[in-house]
Amino acid sequence: MSAETLTAQPKPRALVVKDNLKNLAFVLPAVIIFSVFYVYPFFEIFRLSLQSWDGISPTSSWVGLANFTELMRDKIWWSSMWHAAYITLIALTFQNALAFALALACDREIRMQRFYRVVFFLPPVLSEVVVGMIWQWILNSDVQGGQPIGVLNYWLTQMGLPQLVHHWLSDPQTALTCIAVVHCWKGFGWGFIMLLAGLQTIDHQLYEAAKVDGANSWHTFRHVTLPMMVPVISVVMILTILGSMQVFILIKAMVSQGLGYHTEVPVTRILLSMQESGRFGYACAMGVTFGVFLIGLSLASKLLSGKTKQ
């Protein structure tokens, strides 16, 4: 076979067009759906963020960047961002560490492995409202006839620890942390399933090779498991950030509109601007800013995990 026959011949133009059309036919439905339901609403929200609109009237007035400048000075908005960041921070550390530890445990040959997998995945399938109401009942600080009604306070009293009885959800010092812990309880199952799936894709030969080289459990984890899991951990982290920053149903179910501004998060601020104040333009400006912030955070997280992998 001569070298000339091995060299790739350029395709005729008609064939290239045909190939492109073929590809387009496959991609087109997805592009249309994505454009109609994602791209168009985003641009519409951006357009509205530059207007003053009450959400009902057929007309709105152009205000340019006024909504964004007001937002930059809105202290309550930035404190709500901090509250969401606090919940996210707890979720990133506590929730993901728990998910990883449980995934590592379930990846081994243990008894009732399937049972644990089901149990750990139960909280995420429950409705957030239901979870919020259950925990509201557990953390309830009401008293009847001198006895606490809330499950946690009741058991603290029964165990001889009445000094630990607390108004968990109506004290600004503990309310947000309680919400963050419940959020972690509800969310760790997703991380658990993804991390467990990731662990099961690691080639066992790598572990055997490490064993032959005399690596102990810690070294195997540090130099085999962890590097191999970086892509999965990165996805879990991004999903945790996106999910935790947007938490709000749990807050509504657990503390309603209460506690001043102590349990405000960006989504509750957006809702309040839309529903209570009728400031759709301002709410859209919040939405756009928050969206850009989340995209930036996800990109930063992706870059960080890329560097860690290297």
Q: Which residues bind other proteins (CB under 8 A)?
A: 18, 21-22, 25-26, 28-29, 32, 54-58, 136, 140-146, 149, 167, 169-172, 175, 254-262, 272, 275-279
Query: Which of 117, 308, 149 lies closest to 231, judged by CA?
Result: 308
- For residue 147, the SS3 value is strand
Q: How far is the CB of 155 from other proteins (least distance, A)?
A: 17
Distance of CA 196 to the CA centre of its chain: 18
Q: Would you say 138 or 202 has its CB closer to other proteins?
A: 138
Q: How far is the CB of 29 from other proteins (least distance, A)?
A: 5
Q: How far is the CB of 134 from other proteins (least distance, A)?
A: 13
Q: Would you say 102 or 179 has its CB closer to other proteins?
A: 179
Q: Rounded distance, CA 117 to CA 156, Å?
A: 30
Q: How far is the CB of 73 from other proteins (least distance, A)?
A: 10
Q: Would you say 71 or 175 has its CB closer to other proteins?
A: 175
Helices (H), 38-145: 40-49, 66-73, 75-90, 96-107, 113-120, 122-125, 128-138
Q: How far is the CB of 255 from other proteins (least distance, A)?
A: 4
Check the CA dihedral 237-241-242-246 and report its sign: positive
User: Is residue 293 a contact partner of residue 101, using CB atoms and an 8 Å limit?
Assistant: no
Mapped to the 3 state alphabet, what secondary structure does 218-271 carry?
HHHHHHHHHHHHHHHHHHHHHHHHHHHHCCCHHHHHHHCCCCCCCCCCHHHHHH
Q: Would you say 50 or 229 has its CB closer to other proteins?
A: 50
Q: Would you say 54 or 213 has its CB closer to other proteins?
A: 54
